[in-house]
Structure 1
Amino acid sequence: MSILSKLSFKDQAFKLREDAILDATTRILASKGFDLMTMDDVALEVGISKPSLYKHFKSKEDLVAEAMIRLLDGAQDYWAAMPADSGPLQKLKTLLEWAVRVRLAGGLPFLPSTSPQVRDMLTRNLRYVAKVVKLNGTLKDTVKLAKKQGELRQDLPDDVILFSYYARTCDPAVEYLRMYAKMGEDEIVGHMLRVFFEGVQAG
């Protein structure tokens, strides 16, 4: 039984509206960025009044933080759903593919990397920080295991591999390939994975 089905009708409606608000926030942030996004933009996109929006989120900062937390939760859920027999390198490839597809769909895998203001704001959000630390720990352990099993290059420090991995999720090449090279989603994803993993995989 899903969490939503356990809620009262009123609470279900509230949760569904909140999800719609976060979806709208993600789309607007993808197109306008944090600085230009307003609460009016979000309310208009969802089709609700601004007072109704403030019943869910008291500020733009809280709204963006919750959108980022939901994204991290999505990454953790996707990781947890991978087959138990997947090797560490395969898990890293699968999650990066997910992240690039989220990006192509208008998601924001690592918005803080492009906005110091957002980064500073999120570092003060303890829920967000705890989830980042958890995901980073999982990925760092996976990189170590992949190196131990001979799947990743031994001459590259773990942090070089890990931070380069994160960088691929916010690489502007994704947009350029779609806009100017006229590539489809599957083609872009395939190229982005090859560009990264062919550089870090053991020969």
Structure 2
Amino acid sequence: MSILGRLSFRDQAFRLRENAILDATTAVLASKGYDLMTMDDVAGAVGISKPSLYKHFKSKEELVGEAMIRLLDGALDFVAALDPALGPVAKLSALLEWALRVRLDGGLPFLPSTSAHVRDMLMRNVKYMLRVVKLNRQLEGFVKQAQQSGELNRELPPDVILFSYYARTCDPAVEFLQKYSKMAPDDVVRHMLTVCFDGFR
């Protein structure tokens, strides 16, 4: 039985509305950014009053924190569901493909990379940081395994590879390709994966 199936109708409605709020938050963040986003924007996008929004989330900081936590939970769930038989580079590639597809669908706002205020806010969020540390530890493990097997450059410090990998998830080339090229989303993802793992040669 699903989690929703075990909840009362009222609790199910509350949970579904909360998910709709987080969906709207993600969309507004992707289009306006943290500084310009208001609680009125989110309430309007969901079709509820601002007082109703505050019943779910007490502040913009809490709301954005929960949206980012949900995103990280999605990444952690994706990694956990990967076939254990896949090699480390295949796992890194699969996760990056997932992130790029979420991003092309407007579901991946890159707040920490664009705002010092948001970085500080999220670093104070214990739930968020626990997930960041867990995901980072797993990906660092994949990188080191790939270096040991010779699939990735052994001369590069693991952090250089790892943070360059993270940078691919917020590469502005994705937006330019989506907006100005005639490529289908599948082609954008395929080419970005090639650039990440094979370079330009």
- Shorter-chain TM range is over 0.9
1:55-66 map, 5 Å? 55-66=55-66
* Structure 2 match to 1:161: 161
Q: Distance in 2 between matches of 1:169 and 1:118?
A: 18
* Structure 2 match to 1:39: 39
Give percent identity, aligned residues only: 70
Q: Please tell me whether residue 191 in structure 1 is matched to residue 191 in structure 2.
A: yes
1:1-203 map, 5 Å? 1-108=1-108, 110-199=110-199
Aligned residue identity for 2:65: A
TM-score, reference length from structure 2: 0.97
Q: What does the per-residue CA deviation read over 1:122-170, in whole Å, with 9 as the maximum and x for residues that have no partner?
A: 0110110111011000000110011111211112110110000000001
Contact 2:29–2:109 (Cα < 8 Å) also in 1: no
Can you give the 5+ residue segments of structure 2 that lack an aligned partner in the other structure? none
Structure 1, 146-155 or 48-57: larger mean CA deviation: 146-155
Q: What does the per-residue CA deviation read over 1:33-79, in whole Å, with 9 as the maximum and x for residues that have no partner?
A: 00110000101110111111000000000000000000000000011
Q: Distance in 2 between matches of 1:143 and 1:154?
A: 10
CA RMSD of aligned residues (A): 1.4
Contact 2:30–2:109 (Cα < 8 Å) also in 1: no
Structure 1, 58-67 or 106-115: larger mean CA deviation: 106-115
Aligned length: 201
Which 4+ residue blocks in structure 1 deviate beyond 4 angstroms?
Answer: none
Q: Shift of the alpha carbon at 1:111?
A: 2.0
Contact 2:61–2:121 (Cα < 8 Å) also in 1: yes
